[in-house]
Amino acid sequence: MDRSNARYQRLGYLALNVSDLERSARFYEDIVGLQRSETRGNSVFFRCSDRHHDIVLHKAPTPGLKRIGWQMEAATQVQTLEQHFHGLGIPTQRVSNREAVDLAIDGGFRMREPTTGVLMEFYSHMDTASEVFHPGHTKIERLGHVVLASADMAETEKFFAENMNFKVSDRIENGVVHMRCFPNPLHHSFGIGAGQAAQLHHVNFMVTDMDDIGRANTRMKSHKIPIVYGPGKHPQSESVFFYFLDPDGLTLEYSYGMEEFPEQDARAPRLFPMKVESVDHWGGLPEPDFAKVGAIETAET
Ligand SMILES: CC(C)C(=O)/C=C\C(C(=O)O)=C(\O)C(=O)O
Ligand SMILES: [Fe+2]
């Protein structure tokens, strides 16, 4: 089977499962700083861009990751990728017309990634919201990246590289692989961490100002929100990071700054040794609750 030559615009959106929808909705609006756009049944839509949504919260018994949405460059890319998965014998399901309307996307398909079991959706267009996004207390620039833990990092990396055309930007030996959804320039829109089992590791929001990190530190402390890592600095992307927990214990990250890659003549991936300073240039350590909660939902088709 040939390698995929799929092309992406961006990490489109994340659907997260939360145990108490209204509690989490308040948290993502008031504490994280997302804009609540609409509620449909057991789902609440949020945005930090001019698109219809970047995060959807679903009420579910087990908190974690429901689905990852990838926005491709064009509808033809979506069809070609679907054919590629068919060639591998991987089942796909079209997004129903009704769901496409609810999600404000142009259809697309879903498939379950075989090494982690995570459900992924591929589409090429999401409607813009009726109003531009006005950041609140935190100047969130975009949904930045999602990192999964995998019991077999090498196999997960191979699947994303060969079958989805993601490119490796950097690696920490036996720790994490950072990948970009080519040709999106961000150092990583996706990461794979080493784990005992597949799990959501963390969700990242990029901010435009170093002050957003400092203010978040103060805000989380005053609301008694667990801070689980940082402020610190990741040597790979050169971003200043700050990790905290949502009400279910899901790990969220704000980061400021990120390397961008050209489409042509990109630098080669680097290999960082497994040591504290490879994760935090300033030598900090995570708290025990860092990236501990985040089941991958396997029920939805
Ligand atoms: C703590 C994570 C797993 C890590 O090891 C390093 C870097 C990360 C990340 O995966 O969160 C970044 O976001 C980064 O380099 O920007
Ligand atoms: Fe991150």
DSSP per-residue codes, 216-279 = HHHHHHHTTPPEEEEEEEETTTTEEEEEEE-TT-BEEEEEE---B--SSSPPPPEEE-SSHHHH
Q: Which atom of ligand 1 is nearest to the CA of 286?
A: 1
Residue 251 CA to residue 204 CA, distance in Å, equals 9
In tens digits, the chain (301 residues) has pLDDT values of 689 999 999 999 999 999 999 999 999 999 999 999 999 999 999 999 999 999 999 999 999 999 999 999 999 999 999 999 999 999 999 999 999 999 999 999 999 999 999 999 999 999 999 999 999 999 999 999 999 999 999 999 999 999 999 999 999 999 999 999 999 999 999 999 999 999 999 999 999 999 999 999 999 999 999 999 999 999 999 999 999 999 999 999 999 999 999 999 999 999 999 999 999 999 999 999 999 999 999 986 4
Residue type, 261: F
Within 8 A by CB and 6+ apart from 281, the residues are: 232, 233, 234, 235
Within 8 A by CB and 6+ apart from 279, the residues are: 172, 175, 232, 234, 235
Say yes or no: ipTM exceeds 0.90.
Answer: yes
**Is the full-model pTM beyond 0.80?**
yes
Range 140-296 has CATH code 3.10.180.10: yes
Give the ligand with the smallest distance to the CA of 232: 1
Spans of all domains in the chain: 8-123, 140-296
- What is the 87 CA–ligand 1 centroid distance (Å)? 33
Query: Which residue among 279, 287, 292 is best mutated to probe the pocket of ligand 1, counting the most ligand atoms within 8 A of its Cβ?
Result: 279
Q: Which residues pair with 1 in a beta bridge?
A: none
Instruction: Note whether 8-123 and 140-296 share their fold.
Output: yes
Give the ligand with the smallest distance to the CA of 148: 1
Q: Quote the radius of gyration of the chain (alpha carbons, Å).
A: 18
Work out the end-to-end distance of the chain between its first and last CA atoms, rounded to an integer number of angstroms: 25
Residue 46 CA to residue 37 CA, distance in Å, equals 5
Q: What is the pLDDT of residue 299?
A: 83
Q: What CATH number should be reported for the domain whose range is 8-123?
A: 3.10.180.10
Q: Which residues pair with 149 in a beta bridge?
A: 193, 199
